[in-house]
Amino acid sequence: GAAVTEHDEL
């Protein structure tokens, strides 16, 4: 499946 966006922001 599509990769989940990395949550690198606060």
Q: How far is the CB of 10 from other proteins (least distance, A)?
A: 5
Judged by CB under 8 A, how many residues of this single chain contact other proteins? 8
Q: DSSP letter at 4?
A: P
Rg of the chain in Å (alpha carbons): 8
Q: Closest approach of Cβ 8 to other proteins, in Å?
A: 5
| Burial degree of 3 (CB within 10 A; 0-12, 13-18, 19+) | exposed
Chain positions 1 to 10 lying near other proteins, rule: CB under 8 A, are: 1, 4-10
Where on the chain is the footprint of other proteins (CB under 8 A)?
1, 4-10
